[in-house]
């Protein structure tokens, strides 16, 4: 009887230890430097946000968060490095919507992002803006679609490059509205907007950040934002969805970790993100960039990413889009 009681007590102690283990892990994480992989060059929107968050994390946890830029393969080298890292929370990935696009756009990937990575949180959302040269006699997206159909050889529409969200927003517009336009890819938002201002092309989908100065100066005309809700940066513009229900694209940014990372570690990182997004300097930065701070749970981020993959896959396949 005493032996039974001893064994029962030991079993209860082991069970209690097992239940407390995740909590103990969460309390000690992070106990060393954390690598935050950014699969793009320094100075871009992804990099700047990652560095802002890493500084906030370091202030909060007392540990170093090192930004590691890996700008090759359309961002997929960095994603692969993160996916193949030990799932312990010490390698994290800060990535843009390009991850969802590339899942379908790039035919041979070394990883399956939807299976090999798990979401921590959606961090921010930056709308794109359907923007036209001011010489065009149009006031809304339907006017533009109608004008393109009346134009003998169609219109010229620029983008930030093949396979970018700017390009896919254009393709979605073509598919949903029957727009008659030739896609002209540029090497980034700067050249694309410059070409639009000069009249080299007639419309484009730049980010709110790239479009705002030119819209406010009158050198370009904004017709609508691509997000499902109006933008606080350009509140006067309607949404594309108000003309074409279901139209919804943006440049989003989010954090991922390798699959099978402990739930308590994801919860700790998630809590740090939500805390950082409430900071005044972070919110001011987001507003300056034309974006909106978001913040989601890990499960919500994982589900959102899968929906984004499916959405872009439909556009890519319907448009027969590929990268060289």
Q: Which two tokens stand for residue 156?
A: 């010229």
- Tell me, what's the pLDDT at 183? 96
- Tell me, what's the pLDDT at 98? 94
- Mean pLDDT confidence for 46-56: 94
Among 310, 127, 309, smallest CA distance to 215 is for: 127
Residue 277 pLDDT greater than 90, yes or no: yes
* Dist. CA 178–CA 148, nearest whole Å: 9
End-to-end Cα, the chain, rounded Å:
75
Average pLDDT across the chain, whole number = 91
Q: Could you tell me the pTM of the whole model?
A: 0.87
* Dist. CA 164–CA 236, nearest whole Å: 26
Q: Where are the domains of the chain?
A: 33-125+250-319, 129-242
Percent of the chain residues past pLDDT 70, beyond the cut: 91
- Tell me, what's the pLDDT at 77? 94
- Tell me, what's the pLDDT at 123? 97
Contact yes or no for 253/127 (Cβ under 8 A)? no
Residue 65 pLDDT greater than 90, yes or no: yes
The pLDDT tens digits of the residues spanning 233-249 come to 999 999 999 999 999 99
Contact yes or no for 38/47 (Cβ under 8 A)? yes
Q: Which homologous superfamily is 33-125+250-319 in? A: Bordetella uptake gene, domain 1 (3.40.190.150)
Q: Which homologous superfamily is 129-242 in? A: Periplasmic binding protein-like II (3.40.190.10)
The pLDDT tens digits of the residues spanning 151-204 come to 999 999 999 999 999 999 999 999 999 999 999 999 888 899 999 999 999 999
């Amino acid at each position: 009887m005493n032996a039974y009681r001893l064994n029962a007590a030991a079993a209860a102690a082991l069970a209690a230890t097992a239940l407390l283990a995740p909590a103990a892990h969460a309390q000690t994480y992070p106990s060393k430097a954390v690598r935050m992989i950014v699969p793009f060059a320094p100075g871009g929107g992804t990099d700047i946000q990652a560095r802002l968050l890493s500084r906030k994390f370091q202030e909060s946890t007392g540990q170093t968060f090192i930004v590691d830029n890996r700008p090759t393969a359309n961002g997929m080298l960095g994603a692969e490095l993160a996916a193949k890292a030990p799932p312990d929370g010490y390698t994290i990935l800060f990535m843009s919507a390009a991850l969802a696009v590339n899942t379908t756009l790039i035919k041979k990937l070394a990883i399956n992002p939807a299976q090999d990575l798990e979401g921590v949180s959606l961090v921010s959302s930056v709308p794109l803006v359907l923007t036209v040269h001011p010489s065009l006699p149009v006031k809304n997206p339907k006017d533009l679609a109608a004008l393109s159909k009346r134009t003998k050889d169609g219109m010229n529409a620029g983008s930030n490059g093949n396979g970018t969200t700017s390009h896919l927003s254009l393709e979605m517009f073509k598919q949903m509205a029957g727009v008659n336009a030739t896609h002209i890819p540029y090497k980034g938002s700067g050249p694309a907007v410059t070409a639009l201002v000069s009249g080299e092309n007639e419309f484009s989908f730049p980010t709110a950040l790239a479009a705002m100065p030119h819209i406010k100066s009158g050198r370009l005309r904004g017709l609508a934002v691509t997000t499902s809700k109006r933008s606080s940066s350009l509140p006067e513009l309607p949404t594309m969805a108000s003309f074409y229900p279901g139209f919804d694209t943006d440049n989003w940014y989010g954090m991922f970790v390798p699959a099978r990372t402990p739930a308590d570690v994801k919860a700790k990182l998630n809590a740090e993100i939500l805390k950082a997004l409430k900071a005044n300097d972070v919110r001011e930065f987001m507003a300056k960039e034309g974006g909106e701070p978001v913040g989601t749970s890990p499960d919500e981020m994982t589900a959102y990413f899968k929906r984004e993959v499916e959405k872009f896959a439909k556009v890519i396949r319907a448009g027969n889009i590929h990268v060289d």
